[in-house]
């Protein structure tokens, strides 16, 4: 795998249609922005992420860099994990080229636009933006000081000197606003009002978007005064903006209630990422995780406030004690209600959903006048 093979794959998939994007792909040296040691999102037999060292295996490193469909992970656990085969959460990466090109095409970027980028990472995405509008029109924000420092050195070495800020991207960059375009390289659950306020009227915001239940959407918004709204233009899976990560500290009562489940959990939880995303829009503060063995499989739901939790058994879901709930909410009831609504709407595709942001944020189906979930 090399640049030429990758380029042909992207071109054949229709991902280099804008001439400027094809030129930027040819001009920016992706290899310069990828560290010498990286992880890949592929686990070995011991459950550790695959590790690639350029010095030890240069061919494997090049294949990773130019694989158009796979990200290259540059950091685990916020930088607390040293290089080498290991486990942990991905906290920074050089994104897969196919989704990068889809996002940049969807941004509808003109040469005169000013751009705010949330999440500098390695700086590769920043360089692509700079090729379109000039680095002087790009402001990029990175929360991680080490990543920001490394990206600044790399960008300068490659001839790019955008405005760089180390800080929380959810606050934007008010001293450099307003912007024509805001693009995030990390997922959020709530659109920061700062992004809306710092974007010109008719300007666009493009960001990965998810809920505690499912992190899957790619959202495009158009700004109108102090408001913004738009549809999901497709799916994407990105790491969370650090300050918007779902976190839960359970504080549930000791005494639970028990009942039977009205439906096989597999029917609700094995429908794929698009189904999960639609359910998540209705229960955005609920997350779930699986527990137990294949013969004693269970799923646990918790709410973001940490006041409610529910565990559902798979094997005998029809028994009167298959669902155990703590706290004021029956989270399985909320999830199954959301699933039933999704089915009743003939399983709408993600592109039929949208988000409106004014004094608050809400999701809708087909039209802003048709909200879904709790508005």
User: Residue 373 in contact with residue 255, Cβ under 8 Å?
Assistant: no
CA distance 20 to 134: 12
Per-position b or e across 204-217, b if 16+ CB within 10 A of its CB: bbbbbbbbbbbbbb
- Packed helices 19-27 and 97-106: angle between N→C axes, nearest 10 degrees: 140
Peptide bond into 183 cis (omega under 30): no
- Report how far residue 355's alpha carbon sits from residue 104's, in angstroms, rounded to the nearest whole number: 20
Cα of 295 vs its chain's centroid, Å: 33
Whether 270 is catalytic is no
* Catalytic annotation, pick one of 92, 93, 95, 308: 95
Buried b / exposed e along 42-62 (16+ C-beta atoms within 10 A): eeeeeeebebbebeeeeebbb
Sign of CA dihedral 221, 225, 226, 227: negative
Cα–Cα distance measured from residue 68 to residue 57, given in angstroms and rounded to the nearest whole number: 19
Catalytic residues: 95
């Amino acid at each position: 795998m090399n640049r030429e093979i990758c380029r042909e794959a992207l071109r054949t998939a229709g991902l280099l249609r804008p001439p400027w994007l094809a030129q930027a792909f040819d001009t920016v040296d992706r290899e310069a922005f990828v560290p010498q040691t990286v992880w890949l999102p592929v686990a070995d037999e011991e459950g550790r992420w695959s590790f690639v060292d350029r010095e030890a295996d240069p061919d494997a490193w090049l294949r990773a860099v130019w694989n158009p469909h796979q990200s290259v992970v540059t950091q685990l656990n916020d930088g607390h994990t040293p290089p080498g085969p290991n486990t942990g959460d991905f906290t920074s990466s050089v994104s897969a080229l196919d989704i990068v090109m889809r996002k940049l095409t969807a941004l509808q970027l003109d040469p005169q636009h000013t751009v705010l980028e949330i999440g500098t990472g390695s700086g590769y995405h920043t360089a692509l933006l700079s090729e379109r509008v000039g680095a002087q029109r790009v402001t990029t924000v990175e929360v991680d000081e080490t990543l920001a420092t490394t990206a600044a050195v790399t960008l300068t070495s490659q001839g790019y000197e955008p405005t760089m800020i180390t800080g929380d991207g959810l606050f934007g960059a008010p001293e450099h606003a307003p912007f024509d375009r805001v693009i995030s390289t990390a997922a959020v659950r709530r659109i920061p009002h700062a992004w809306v306020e710092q974007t010109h009227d008719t300007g666009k915001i493009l960001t990965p978007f998810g809920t505690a239940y499912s992190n899957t959407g790619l959202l495009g918004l158009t700004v109108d005064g102090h408001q913004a709204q738009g549809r999901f233009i497709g799916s994407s899976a990105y790491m969370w903006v650090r300050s918007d990560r779902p976190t839960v500290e359970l504080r549930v009562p000791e005494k639970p209630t028990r009942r039977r489940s009205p439906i096989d959990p597999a029917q609700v939880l094995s429908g794929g990422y698009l189904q999960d995303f639609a359910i998540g829009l209705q229960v955005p503060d609920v997350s779930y995780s699986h527990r137990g063995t294949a013969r004693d499989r269970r799923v646990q739901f918790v709410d973001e406030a940490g006041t409610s939790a529910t565990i559902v058994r798979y094997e005998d879901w029809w028994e009167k004690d298959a669902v155990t709930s703590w706290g004021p909410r029956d989270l399985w009831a909320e999830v199954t209600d959301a699933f039933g609504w999704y089915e009743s709407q003939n399983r709408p595709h993600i592109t039929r959903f949208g988000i409106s942001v004014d004094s608050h944020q809400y999701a809708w189906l087909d039209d802003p006048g048709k909200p879904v979930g709790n508005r």
